[in-house]
């Protein structure tokens, strides 16, 4: 039976066009997308000009993307979608360390460094000792965990944002835990920084009366065979942007102590233990 398009039946008419052999997950996802998109248009009643400006926004978002820039992920991040998808996929029992966004500045293949090594290669910023243990939910240490860490420099930029200005692998490294599950390295006390805001996402934030800043944080990606991968940050308490992180990445449990050290080798010390959850069978 032919079904012509009507305003009242719009989503049903579109979804009825799908063929009989569509893969079930794709059928579910696309029909929900069409239903929600049509319900959205029915709610906001866009004018033709508004629809054109939305298309223009998405076009510019795509055009600015390249090997070093992923504006669609930034859009997802600033709309809270990345954190929602992260939350859906990383529900964990109490006591386990919470996940947060990976962000665009992780780089595969950082050098593995010795315990206690200094990852700040540009010599800028206030030195900070980061140390703790990787543990299971029962408190037992996890040996052989890879703790991949990265942060901005004292001027608020990651090394990959300033090639040729910062040393390669500045403020990055991988530390592998021993039998005691411990990790330990020297970095800098991170500083808050704005996400790249010279593109369509930055323009949208400005029109929404939102700032582009992230509170100061150290990134951690912790992997160990037989354990769920942990993607997280630790945040510097007292940062002015903790409650208005532009990508909604802050969780109370991830605000870490940053203690001033008197007469030590570093100015700050930030102790933090990571608690992992066993991988589900097949992971």
Residue 103 or 136 with smaller CB distance to Fe ion? 103
Binding range to Fe ion, per CB under 5 A, among 62-70, 98-106, 173-181, 197-205:
98-106
Residue 12 or 155 with smaller CB distance to ligand BEZ? 155
Residue 242, contacted partner among Fe ion, ligand BEZ, none, CB below 5-8 A by kind: none
Residue pair 167/20 in contact by the 8 Å Cβ criterion: no
155: number of Cβ within 10 Å: 14
SS3 content of the chain, % helix, strand, coil (to 5): 30, 25, 50
Residue 104 or 144 with smaller CB distance to Fe ion? 104
- Closest CB 6 distance from ligand BEZ, rounded Å: 41
| Alpha-carbon distance values, 200 to 20, 64, 204 (Å) | 39, 8, 6
d(CA 133, CA 44): 50
Rule CB under 6 A: which residues touch ligand BEZ? 74, 77, 101, 103-105, 195, 214, 247
Q: Which of 129, 170, 153 is nearest to 257 (CA)?
A: 129
* Residue number of the CB atom closest to Fe ion: 103
d(CA 283, CA 280): 6
Residue 183 or 235 with smaller CB distance to Fe ion? 235
Binding range to Fe ion, per CB under 5 A, among 34-42, 99-107, 140-148, 234-242:
99-107
Residue 77, contacted partner among ligand BEZ, Fe ion, none, CB below 5-8 A by kind: ligand BEZ
- Closest CB 257 distance from ligand BEZ, rounded Å: 20
264: number of Cβ within 10 Å: 11
Give backbone dihedrals phi and psi of 13, rounded to 5 degrees, phi first. -65, -45
3-state secondary structure of 131: strand
Question: Taking CB under 5 A as the criterion, which residues in 101-120 touch Fe ion?
Answer: 103
Question: Taking CB under 5 A as the criterion, which residues in 177-206 touch Fe ion?
Answer: none
Residue 195 or 242 with smaller CB distance to ligand BEZ? 195
Q: Give the β-pairing of 230-236 and 217-223.
A: antiparallel
- Closest CB 260 distance from ligand BEZ, rounded Å: 25
Contact footprint for Fe ion (CB under 5 A): 103
């Amino acid at each position: 039976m032919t079904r012509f398009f009507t305003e009242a039946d719009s989503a049903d008419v579109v979804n009825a066009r799908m063929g009989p052999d569509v893969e079930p997950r794709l059928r579910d996802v696309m029909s929900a997308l069409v239903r929600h998109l049509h319900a959205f248009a029915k709610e906001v009643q866009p004018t033709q000009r508004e629809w054109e400006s939305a298309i223009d926004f998405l076009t510019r978002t795509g055009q600015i993307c390249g090997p070093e820039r992923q504006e669609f992920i930034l859009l997802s991040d600033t709309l809270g979608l990345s954190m929602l998808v992260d939350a859906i996929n990383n529900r964990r029992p109490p006591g386990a360390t919470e996940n947060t966004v990976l962000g665009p500045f992780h780089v595969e293949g950082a050098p593995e460094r010795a315990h206690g090594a200094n990852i700040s290669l540009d010599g800028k910023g206030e030195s900070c000792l980061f140390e703790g243990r990787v543990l299971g939910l029962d408190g037992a240490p996890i040996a052989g965990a890879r703790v991949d860490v990265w942060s901005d420099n004292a001027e608020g930029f990651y090394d990959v944002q300033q090639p040729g200005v910062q040393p390669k692998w500045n403020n990055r490294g991988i530390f592998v835990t021993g039998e005691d599950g411990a990790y330990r390295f020297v970095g800098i006390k991170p500083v808050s920084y704005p996400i790249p805001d010279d593109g369509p996402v930055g323009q949208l934030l400005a029109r929404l009366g939102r700032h582009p800043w992230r509170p100061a944080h150290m990134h951690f990606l912790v992997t160990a065979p037989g354990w769920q991968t942990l993607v997280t940050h630790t945040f510097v308490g007292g940062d002015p942007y903790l409650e208005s992180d532009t990508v909604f990445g802050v969780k109370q449990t991830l605000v870490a102590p940053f203690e001033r050290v008197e007469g030590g080798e570093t100015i700050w010390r930030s102790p933090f233990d990571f608690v992992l959850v066993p991988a589900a069978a097949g992971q």
